[in-house]
Structure 1
Amino acid sequence: MHLEYFQMIDRIEALDLEAGTLTASSTVPMESPVFEGHFPDMPLVPGVLLIETMAQASGFLVLAKTGFAAMPFLMSVDSAKMRDFVEPGAELTVSAALEHEGSGYAVAKGRIQIDGKRVADCQIKLKTLPFDQVPLARIVRARSEEVGLVAAMDTANGGRQ
């Protein structure tokens, strides 16, 4: 996790395209300028960054499901719940489950767990635009390769991509 650059997902751990699910891992850094103000002497990951983490997992799932045909953009967050504090050094398991994809939108449920204990969850709504309408394809594909999404897609597709 690189908070200052909003790179919240470290690695894609599992991808099931048929079920429409993705699991990722992320380690909260021990130090970050974010913690200087949130909160001095009691550093906690801001809830909005936990939501961003679930949104990114959901976005990677949409990228995989569409085969990089559409870029997902966060549009709304519903029923967000922060159930516990997340501190520096925490090992997060982030999951996304696709509920709808099509008609220019996607809806997913996001969840974050630490050692099997749920610490945050929400519903994420994403607008999807064809990559030819946004100048991000190269950057998004490179980041997807860094976190292992492309390899997970290859595995999920039985070696065919």
Structure 2
Amino acid sequence: MDLDYFKLIDRVVELNLDEKRITVEAQVPAAHTIFEGHFPGFPIMPGVLLTESMAQSSGWLLLGLLKFERMPFLAIVKEAKMRGFVSPGSLLTIEAKLEHEGSGFAVTKAKGRVGKELKCSAEITFGLAPFPDPSMRVHMDAMANKIGFPLQAITHD
């Protein structure tokens, strides 16, 4: 995780386009200024950042399913549940699955775990739009490469 730049996904573990599912990993930093205030003496990952981690994981899934032809943007978060504390230094594994795709939107369900312990879950709705600028697509391709997104899985036949 690079909290300063809001890059919360470190690595794609698996992308299964047939099952419409992705698994990613995010290494929570062992130390960061965010933990100084959340909470002094008992540092934990803020729930809003856990929710954003699930949204980013879902976004990468949608980018793969859409073959990077449209960009997902966060529209609605439902049923977000924080089920346990995520401590600094934890390895967070997030799985997201497409539940529904409609005209101009998609709904995913995501879960975050540390080891086998469920820590968070949410249903997330995204709007789907063209990339606003070609440079944004270039940036997303570079980020995909950095996190090990299997671009070969989405190449056109």
Give the TM-score range, shorter chain.
Answer: over 0.9
The answer as to whether partners of 1:62 and 1:72 remain within 8 angstroms in 2 is: yes
Unaligned runs of 5+ residues in structure 1 are none
CA deviation profile, 1:101-123 (whole Å, cap 9, x unmatched):
24111110010011111110000
1:160, distance to aligned residue in structure 2 (A):
6.7
Cα-to-partner distance string for 1:87-109 (whole Å, 9 max, x where unaligned): 00101111100012241111100
2:61 maps to which residue? Answer: 61
For residues 11-160 of structure 1, the aligned pairs below 5 Å read: 11-131=11-131, 133-134=132-133, 136-149=136-149, 152-154=150-152, 156=153
Amino acid at match of 1:26: A
CA contact (8 A) 1:4 1:34 kept: no
Specify the SS of the correspondent of 1:53. Answer: helix
Listed as ranges, the gaps of 5+ residues in structure 2 are: none
Looking at structure 2, the residues matched to 46 and 53 of structure 1 have their Cα atoms a distance apart, in angstroms, of 11
**Residues matched between the structures, number:** 156
Percentage of pairs with the same residue: 42
SS at match of 2:57: helix
Letter in 2 for 1:58: S
Query: Could you tell me how far apart the structure 2 residues matched to 1:85 and 1:43 are?
Result: 9
- The root-mean-square deviation of aligned C-alpha atoms, in Å, is 1.5
Q: Is the 8 A contact 2:144 2:151 kept in 1?
A: no
For residue 82 of structure 1, report the CA deviation from its aligned partner: 0.3
